[in-house]
Chains A and B, each alone.
Chain A
Amino acid sequence: MSDEPQIRILLAKLGLDGHDRGLKVVARILRDAGMEVIYLGLRQTTDSIVAAAEQEDADAIGLSMHNAGHMTLAPAMVKAVNDAELDCPVIVGGIVPDQDVQPLLDAGVAVVLGPGASAEEVAQSVRDAVAAVNS
């Protein structure tokens, strides 16, 4: 444990997407990396995530996407976060084809993590994304 402020991250599935095993694995990875994970789980909306991020004063939002809706939903999430003036990076994990990664980053997503990402990589990219916003 360090004296650094603890990172609080929201984890959610946005929209109609029932594949939450990956999200549960990531929740465990981030907890084991010393973070506080606020687990929202399935069937969230951009509004419900923004409301939770405000109340929880989250440092980051992690979305797990396995329904091929990422090109619509992820930018919508970024827009909702910006509209609410939250300093909250949006991190996307799950199944995102290679050619979609850059467009998502261009749309304001902080990081895109694929199925091959290691636990350390996942935790470090969250830390980096949070540090980038706070610097």
Chain B
Amino acid sequence: MAAKRSIRELYVAARSGERRALGRLLTAVERGGPAADEISELAHPDSGTAHIVGITGSPGAGKSTLVGQLVSDLVAAGKKPAVLAVDPSSPLTGGAILGDRIRIEDGESEAFIRSMATRGHSGGLALAVPLAVRVFDAAGYDPVIIETVGVGQVEVDVVGAADTAVVVMTPGMGDAVQANKAGLLEVADVFVVNKADRPGANDVRRDLDLMLDLSHMTGQESETGYRPPIVMASALHGDGSADVWGAVEAHLAHLDDTGLRDGRRKHRMRTEVKARLEQAMSAAADQAMDSTVGAEWLDRAERADIAPTRATNELLALLLNTDLSNIDMQRNQELS
């Protein structure tokens, strides 16, 4: 059996095309910690060119089937696509059934498909996904497709931070309003009405069109006048995947033409750094609660001696090791 290799050795091997090494790296990315940090350091300078495409939609909308079709098309066109398929973990047991591969039949081709479970804490997802994308990018995969179920803020953020966000809808699910609720309308760059061979597909299209008209009227339309196209598809039958990819590439061209791609990149970086910061803060909060001082303040709050708000502020000041009024001032400046 192969000897255990260092992160750097795995990285070099993955860059030279060894898929097993890339698989190992992605496991380290998922586990997080110092190994993931090292991967981040290594991959950062080697990445930044891949077109990152997020695909989201309700469970059963046909995302995986569509992705499978896109991957086939891309491989046939001589591209080297990577797919990160995110599925939820059970909150009770931490286990997960990752079933996206079953719809993607090009597992042996040039494409690289990796399933990722949310692992109970979606905060972890916000760290693991961007790093996994960077590793794919550094290993020469382009485009990198992220597939998630469009529920939960983190999932929406992850897709929203892609270069191009594709939202997949289907007839018969009240989807236009539901998608509006989930905040998907704001992040979508391309809409796909999948299962377009079914009754009601045109209704979905009309509803979407109406919603897009509204964003025009309420001034939410992008400054460059970009209006997300609505593409009809029937992924299971292979219909429309070429149109979907055409719309995705047209959007990328739009980003490049308008110089907006750098903005996306910046937004993505901001989302990731903020997520990392939040996770570090959350870990610090746990530490503070377990500390003697934390226990003291908790105790006083319990005895109704002081209010929990005050205990929080005291601990926060201690954590940041700085003057609280100062923090409030900075925060106010940010808000104003």
Do residues B93 and A56 form an inter-chain contact, with CB atoms below 8 A?
A: no
Q: Chain A interface secondary structure, helix, strand, loop or mixed?
A: mixed
Do residues B89 and A86 form an inter-chain contact, with CB atoms below 8 A?
A: no
Interface residues on A, range: 20 to 34
Q: A5-B31, A40-B102, A48-B107 are in contact. Are A54 and B95 (CB under 8 A)?
A: no
Do residues A40 and B101 form an inter-chain contact, with CB atoms below 8 A?
A: yes
Do residues A57 and B107 form an inter-chain contact, with CB atoms below 8 A?
A: no
Q: A32-B90, A34-B93, A34-B95 are in contact. Are A52 and B102 (CB under 8 A)?
A: no
- Cβ contact of B95, chosen from A31, A48, A52, A56, cutoff 8 A: A31
Distance A83 CA – B255 CA, assembled complex (angstroms): 45
Do residues B99 and A39 form an inter-chain contact, with CB atoms below 8 A?
A: yes
Do residues A38 and B98 form an inter-chain contact, with CB atoms below 8 A?
A: yes
Query: Chain B contacts of A98 at CB under 8 A?
Result: none
- Cβ contact of B97, chosen from A27, A34, A47, cutoff 8 A: A27
Do residues B117 and A36 form an inter-chain contact, with CB atoms below 8 A?
A: yes
Query: Chain A contacts of B19 at CB under 8 A?
Result: 51, 54-55
Q: Does A17 contact B (CB under 8 A)?
A: no
Distance A47 CA – B108 CA, assembled complex (angstroms): 7
Query: Chain B contacts of A33 at CB under 8 A?
Result: 93, 95
Query: Chain B contacts of A54 at CB under 8 A?
Result: 19-20, 23
CB neighbors of B among A90-121 (8 A): none
Query: Chain B contacts of A57 at CB under 8 A?
Result: 20, 23-24, 26-27
Query: Chain A contacts of B24 at CB under 8 A?
Result: 57
Query: Chain A contacts of B297 at CB under 8 A?
Result: none
Distance A31 CA – B102 CA, assembled complex (angstroms): 17
Q: Does B1 contact A (CB under 8 A)?
A: yes
Query: Chain A contacts of B99 at CB under 8 A?
Result: 39, 41
Chain A nearest CB, measured from B264 CB (Å): 27
Distance A35 CA – B115 CA, assembled complex (angstroms): 13
Query: Chain A contacts of B94 at CB under 8 A?
Result: 1, 6, 34
Chain B nearest CB, measured from A47 CB (Å): 6
Seen from chain B, the residues whose Cβ lies within 8 Å of a Cβ on chain A are 1-2, 19-20, 22-24, 26-27, 31, 89-90, 93-99, 101-102, 107-108, 112-115, 117, 119-120
Lowest 9 A-B CB distances belong to which pairs? A31-B95, A57-B23, A1-B94, A57-B27, A51-B108, A39-B99, A41-B102, A54-B20, A34-B95
* Besides the known contacts A31-B97, A41-B99, 13 further A-B residue pairs in the complex with CB atoms under 8 A apart: A31-B95, A34-B93, A34-B95, A36-B89, A36-B117, A38-B101, A38-B115, A47-B108, A51-B108, A55-B19, A55-B107, A56-B101, A56-B115
